[in-house]
Amino acid sequence: MGRGTLPGTMPCLPRVPLLGSLLSLRSPLPPHLLFTHLTHTYGTLYTLYMGPHPTVVVSDYTHAREVLLTRGREFAGRPRMVTTELLTRGGKDVAFADYSDLWRRHRRLVHSAFNLFGEGSSKLQSIVLDAADSLCSELLSSGRSCVDPAPAVLRAVTNVVCTLVFSSSYLPSDPELLKVMQYNDGIVQTIARGSLVDIYPWLKIFPNKDLKRLNECVAVRDELLTKKLIEHKETFTPDDPRDLLDALLAGQQGSEVTGDITDDHVLMTAAEAFGAGVETTSTTLLWAMAFLLHNPEVQQRVQAELDEWVGRDSAPTLRQRTQLPYLDSVLCEVMRIRPVSPILIPHVAMQDTSIGLHRIPKGTRVLVNMWAIHHDPKHWDQPDCFQPERFLDSAGQKVTPPSFMPFGAGPRVCVGESLARTELFLFLGRLLQRCHLGIPQGTAPPDLQGRLGVVLQPQPYLVTISPRT
């Protein structure tokens, strides 16, 4: 059927003037679960109205592939939202900026800057392993008593990102590290997706505690990053970038259109790499630990694999990744069963286009429900069970089913994917090589439900950490 004859009847949630479908969206369920639940009534492709904004929710692999890959370019726009505009100086970042020629050049530059420190980089390896060792020591210092692993994990990951982005590494009690963690926490808590001011921008004229706090945290972030930027500009040499900030400055100077990548772009990219790097990696590690506590036999098998191929004397290295397919499959299964970004970042149709047989007008927002895709029984056997083996073939080699897309796909795919995979592999590998994780006596195992803020996080939980002997 040609595009001109596409039938236009996509199921739609009830709507009323002004509020759109918001009344039907009132629910104790977090959005990814609610959107998945609504597929029972409306199917895997339906429309709803976020206030005045028509929004299509895509909950199956075939249509998601179309949005992200086949017609990726046509759906590569982003909505303008009050909170993210404030966070990014009006879209001078990568993740929340709308599609444009400048954005494409900017993203390409960020991508190559990241690759300097991505997969295979020995510098990244030593930075991560140092941080992983500090994490092990800090966790082990609790003796056999129980600890909440979150603060130590967050500190370790923050330190890696600070080293990568601007070559600063901190002792746990360093006031600058505390400042960074505080402002980041403030942003995470106030930029939660779906806040009303993002649906109705005019609400920003009224006093709003969250927006005030977001503004304050952004100001602290900007002061700190501007200081780093000035220091870097004074000391950097374009041919030998010390860190991501240097690589961005070099790319800024070498840009094909002189002056298009401004200092604001450099600053916003550094801030974003920082925010994305910390939130996603620490959350994935905390999910991994939570699932290992529920599945002690999986922990044992990862440790047996590490003992066989790495031993106990030296840390696992990136070169050994192919020899450790089970560890890799555990990480994939964690990102399948609890994707940190279960509905990705909203996409926007940049022109009139289509999904399946449905016409999609320019400006329509599209939410790709990766949670539903990762839990679709048509693609995954017993999708609610934690089974790393599903990522291994009969010879024990790693396989990746196409419906596994925790980083998204296409023109908007995560730019930090290889960095994230490298970090996760080294962190979890070193942690499990050195430590045994257990559920403290008399306490329940971690709650696996999760809460969706800016990422899908586990509820706080306790663990005992003992050295492996």
- Give the interface with ligand PLO as residue ranges (CB under 6 A): 95, 184, 187-188, 191, 272, 275-276, 279-280, 340-341, 345, 454-455
Contact 107, 415 (CB under 8 A): yes
Residue 37 Cβ, how far from ligand HEM at the closest point, in Å? 21
Can you read off the two tokens belonging to residue 410? 């296409």
Structural element, H or E, at residue 456: strand 456-457
Question: Whose CB is nearest to ligand HEM?
Answer: 416
Residue 218 Cβ, how far from ligand PLO at the closest point, in Å? 9
Residue 106 Cβ, how far from ligand HEM at the closest point, in Å? 10
Can you read off the two tokens belonging to residue 130? 């140092």
Angstrom CA distances, 159 to 10, 11, 14, 129, 134, stand at 47, 47, 47, 12, 10
Distance CA(165)–CA(249), nearest Å, equals 12
State the DSSP string of 91-132.
T-SSSSSPP-HHHHHHHHHHHHHHHHTSTT-HHHHHHHHHHH
Q: Which does 139 bind (CB under 5 to 8 A by kind): ligand HEM, ligand PLO, none?
A: none
- Could you give the dihedral angle defined by the CA atoms of residues 178, 183, 189 and 193, in that order, rounded to the nearest 10 degrees? -130
- The site for ligand HEM (CB under 6 A) is made up of 94-95, 107, 272-273, 276-277, 280-281, 284, 335, 340-341, 344-345, 406-408, 412, 414-416, 419-420
Question: Whose CB is nearest to ligand PLO?
Answer: 275
- Terminal-residue alpha carbon distance, the chain: 66
DSSP symbol at 68: I
The residue among 81 and 276 lying less far from ligand HEM, judged by its C-beta, is 276
The residue among 11 and 383 lying less far from ligand HEM, judged by its C-beta, is 383
Q: Which does 107 bind (CB under 5 to 8 A by kind): ligand PLO, ligand HEM, none?
A: ligand HEM
Distance CA(465)–CA(153), nearest Å, equals 13
CB atoms within 10 A of CB 39: 18
Q: Which does 184 bind (CB under 5 to 8 A by kind): ligand PLO, ligand HEM, none?
A: ligand PLO
Distance CA(367)–CA(67), nearest Å, equals 10
Residue 408 Cβ, how far from ligand PLO at the closest point, in Å? 8
Q: Which does 335 bind (CB under 5 to 8 A by kind): ligand HEM, ligand PLO, none?
A: ligand HEM
Residue 445 Cβ, how far from ligand PLO at the closest point, in Å? 26
Q: Which does 277 bind (CB under 5 to 8 A by kind): ligand PLO, ligand HEM, none?
A: ligand HEM
Residue 146 Cβ, how far from ligand HEM at the closest point, in Å? 26
